[in-house]
Amino acid sequence: MNNWQEITRPEKPLTQVFPECALTDLSHFGLIRISGADSRAFLQGQLTNDINAVTPELAQFSSYCNPKGRMLGSFWIFQRDEDLYLQLPAELLESVLKRLRMFVLRSDARLHDASTELARFAISGDCAAELLPFAPGDDKACLTREQTTIIRLPGDRPRFELIGPPQILAQTWRRLLDTAEQTGPDFWSLMDIRAGMPTVFEDTLEAFVPQMANLQLIGGVSFTKGCYTGQEVVARMQYLGKLKRRMYHAHVDTAQAPARGAEVFSPSSESAQGAGKIVDVAASPQGGYELLAVVQISSAEADDLHLEGADGPRLRLLDLPYPLDAAEG
């Protein structure tokens, strides 16, 4: 156990309710640091979004695809000093880092696991902006002062991620813990689910093309930046194909948590691939579970979605914070 884990180790069981003011350690995410004169040019040829839009004042959501356009990872990307950072689930860090390094070749781009160099935690709720020493006003906006970077993340309530050296963030964590209730990774997943922000995990590797997971609706894909791995498939779906699957927010009334990657069944689906798959899931304060699922649009419109089989519990569709018919591109 490192020092940061010791600092954030709960002194009492984590709350299972939905606190008005929540403090969440984000150590279940890892960090890849990219440095060097060619770091932007290298990432521009690998990721779906335009890395040149990332500045010390603006973070970005993006993804990494295989040549068939299927996602190998999804990231928040931010800049500190001259370095770029990719934040992704810790369970995928080693495989993504290894794959990215394969394509560096002679580029001046150095990739490192920076997960222990910088601590990360989040505060969410109406309390957040008032409790922070400074707070960006717009979604994806960043500010860095006194070695602490704060990013405002999208969601149905204000939420901010703080990034910085563990010894500095420890002071802020302890101060905020006097007011906020500590929550765990499941709470943060619920925040992402309600924000309609997909996360790729081991159970959903290579399962989705970015548009299936709504990345074109949340600013996670650039269709003007030029070539990157999987770009031909992503562009063809955007301009020549008809999107048959997309991501929905749903609730399922079941006592046991559905697994990420679990099948979604629909009697109206005739696809050999099935009606869909679960992207992410978290316990709902109202009971049961909330989830994001990529499903056939026709099955969602028929409102006949079930978990794993015809006899499985029904999925009740909920609203997303953005329109599914928004202009794409």
pLDDT greater than 90 at residue 325: no
Q: At residue 1, does pLDDT exceed 90?
A: no
pLDDT of the residue at 326: 53
Give the whole-angstrom CA distance, residue 213 versus residue 249. Answer: 11
- At residue 14, does pLDDT exceed 80? no
The segment(s) of the chain belonging to CATH 2.40.30.160 are 202-318
User: Going by C-beta distance under 8 Å and a sequence separation of 6 or more, which residues neighbour residue 284?
Assistant: 190, 251, 290
Q: What is the pLDDT of residues 108-139, one digit of tens each?
A: 999 999 999 999 999 999 999 899 989 999 99
Q: CA triplet 185, 187, 191: central angle to 5 degrees? A: 115
The predicted structure's pLDDT at residue 13: 75
pLDDT tens track for 92-101: 999 999 999 9
- Joined tokens for residue 12: 């009492």
The helix or strand, by DSSP H or E, that contains position 168, with its residue range, turns out to be helix 166-177
Percent of the chain with pLDDT over 90: 86
251-273 pLDDT tens trace: 999 999 999 999 999 998 888 77
Q: What is the pLDDT of residue 136?
A: 95
For the structural domain made of 202-318, what CATH number should be given? 2.40.30.160
Which pLDDT score, from 0 to 100, does residue 10 have? 87
φ, ψ at 89 (rounded to 5°)? -55, 135
Does 17 score more than 80 pLDDT? no
d(CA 281, CA 258): 7
Q: What is the pLDDT of residue 12?
A: 77
Domain over 3-185 is classified CATH 3.30.1360.120:
yes
Residues in Cβ contact with 199 at an 8 Å cutoff, skipping those fewer than 6 apart: 74, 89, 189, 192, 279, 280
**Which residues on adjacent β-strands are paired with residue 291?**
250, 281
Structure tokens at 213: 């997971």
What secondary structure does DSSP assign to 11-54, as a single string?
A: SSPPP-S--SSEEEE-TTEEEEEEESTTHHHHHHTTBSS-GGG-
Using one digit for the tens of pLDDT, what is the confidence trace for 232-252?
Answer: 999 998 888 788 999 999 999
Residue 103, both tokens: 């394509």
Residue type, position 307, single letter = L
The four Cα atoms 69, 40, 99, 214 give a dihedral, to 10 degrees, of -30
Give CATH 3.30.1360.120 domain extents, the chain. 3-185
pLDDT category of residue 15 using cuts at 50, 70 and 90: low
